[in-house]
Amino acid sequence: MHSLTLQTGEATVVDGDILGRLGFAASSEVDGMLDVTAKLEAVAEKTFDADENATEFVFSLAADGTVASKMTLSSAGLLTVVDDIVIKSGG
């Protein structure tokens, strides 16, 4: 089985540490930079120990040039959306 594992280099993981991040960028921006316009991060919810490894996924997107968190999925399964959820008619 093939897999990709992202791993933090931190010896101790505390609340708010990013364990791994996938960033997405256009191939060439106007200024020549590869600006990240979307990212998915695994973030520690608490300090890790032998019995604790609570992690949340944070989904971030750009709308006006600034990448910002739009949605978070907690280790408890709670989905938090920054704005409204829209369900199309008949959906």
Q: What pLDDT, in 10s, does the model give residues 32-89?
A: 566 888 999 999 999 999 999 999 999 999 988 789 999 999 999 999 999 888 888 8
Stated pTM of the model: 0.82
| Residues 41/2/8/16 CA torsion (nearest 10 deg) | 30
Cβ-based neighbours of 74, under 8 Å, separated by 6 or more: 45, 54, 56, 80
| Residues 75/78/84/88 CA torsion (nearest 10 deg) | 100
What integer pLDDT is reported at residue 27 of this predicted model? 74
User: Backbone phi, then psi, for 88, in 5-degree steps?
Assistant: -65, 155
